[in-house]
Amino acid sequence: MLYGLAAGVWTQNVRRAIRVAERIQAGTVWVNTYRSISYTTPFGGYKRSGLGRENGQEAIMGYLQTKAISISTALEVPNPFVMR
């Protein structure tokens, strides 16, 4: 499959629904419903169905970069060439 925007699964077995939904290569999988959308729920596809996500916190991630900052509060400056 080239696209993977959304999919729907109908079942009475919740375990099966979760198992199948995890294996489906789509950005959104609805279980026992279809096209229910909230502005807080990330929306976007897999593969050739778009880039990134709209809505929710995931939409902001495309504009952010992760950075690690380490700060020592020691009173003395340790030797930076000694492994700790």
Predicted local confidence at residue 77, as pLDDT: 81
Contact between residue 59 and residue 39 where contact means Cβ atoms under 8 Å apart: no
Give the pLDDT confidence of 12-39 residue by residue, as tens digits.
Answer: 999 999 999 999 999 899 999 998 888 7
The angle at the Cα of 16, spanning 11 to 17, to the nearest 5 degrees, equals 60
Phi/psi region, residue 75 (left: phi>0; alpha: psi -120 to 50; beta: rest), is alpha
What pLDDT, in 10s, does the model give residues 29-75? 999 999 888 878 888 888 888 777 778 777 777 777 777 777 778 78
Query: Where is 46: in which H helix or E strand?
Result: strand 46-47
What is the spatial distance between Cα 36 and Cα 30, in angstroms, rounded to a whole number?
A: 8
